[in-house]
Homo-oligomer: A and B are copies of this chain.
């Protein structure tokens, strides 16, 4: 791909995470977080691939959704969020190159499920676009953050940095709250969209993982413990409920 390298992501060591005592602290690349043994390099590459393709697609879709917003400030917020996602995408591409991978080869296999997710959760107007950006991006962040515990430190730091919560989320909360105040009936349709977002996200994530043994190992901590997976989904759904409450919507 024709990509100029963006600025390097931060590479400060993460010092506030509990440490697996069996690991050598100096060995940054093998320093797994608290979620179990370090993931295989293959799984990390696939994880960066799916996040990268998802960020690129989210960036372009968000900009396209912005065109449907009549208010200039909404268009501007969505345009800025789009460029933030694009910048995250470029950082992932840089990391893939640094680890000797061709980004196009790594990203392309995830086009099917990511595009399917977006086709099935297409916003009908700018308000649905805002809720999709807020709720969908929130679920994705929580999910990747859970998984990132198990990957090597440089990849984990990159993933955490591209999941940085945008301070401008306050804008979404205010816009959605105002829209519901102006017309209380929109709350039902927005809640419905949010439920579809969760359902499709889980469906496509399963589809992605089930076809890839390395990613399944990453999800279940390399020990085949499906109880872990259930507890993770419980945490994700709790966090989703908190986000919905902030928007004034029923989860």
Which positions in A face B, CB cutoff 8 Å? 1-4, 56, 59-64, 66-67, 72-73, 75-77, 79-80, 82-83, 86-87, 89-90, 104, 107-108, 168, 171
Question: Closest approach, in angstroms, between the C-beta of A247 and any C-beta of chain B?
Answer: 17
Additional A-B contact list (14), CB under 8 Å, known A1-B73, A2-B171, A60-B79: A1-B72, A1-B76, A2-B73, A56-B75, A56-B79, A60-B63, A60-B75, A61-B67, A62-B63, A63-B64, A72-B104, A72-B107, A80-B86, A82-B82
Q: Say whether B59 contacts A79, CB under 8 Å.
A: yes
Partner of A83, one of B2, B83, B104, B168: B83
Residue of chain B at shortest CB distance from A111: B72
Main secondary structure of the interface of A (DSSP, over half): helix
Q: Say whether A108 contacts B72, CB under 8 Å.
A: yes
Best-surrounded residue of A4, A56, A60, A75 (most CB of chain B within 10 A): A60
- Contact A63/B59 with A79-B86, A86-B80, A86-B83 known, Cβ cut-off 8 Å: yes
- Closest CB pairs A-B (n = 4): A63-B63, A64-B64, A83-B83, A1-B73
- List, sorted by A's number, 16 A–B pairs whose CB atoms are closer than 8 Å: A2-B76, A2-B168, A3-B80, A4-B168, A56-B75, A56-B76, A59-B63, A60-B64, A63-B63, A63-B82, A64-B67, A72-B107, A76-B89, A80-B86, A82-B86, A83-B87
Question: Closest approach, in angstroms, between the C-beta of A72 and any C-beta of chain B?
Answer: 5
For A66, the chain B residues whose CB sits under 8 A away are 60
For A3, the chain B residues whose CB sits under 8 A away are 76, 80
Residue of chain B at shortest CB distance from A63: B63
Bound complex: CA of A104 vs CA of B72, how far in Å?
7
Bound complex: CA of A73 vs CA of B3, how far in Å?
8
Bound complex: CA of A62 vs CA of B67, how far in Å?
11
For A108, the chain B residues whose CB sits under 8 A away are 72
For A75, the chain B residues whose CB sits under 8 A away are 56, 60
Best-surrounded residue of A3, A56, A63, A75 (most CB of chain B within 10 A): A63
Bound complex: CA of A62 vs CA of B56, how far in Å?
14
Question: Closest approach, in angstroms, between the C-beta of A222 and any C-beta of chain B?
Answer: 31
Bound complex: CA of A89 vs CA of B171, how far in Å?
19
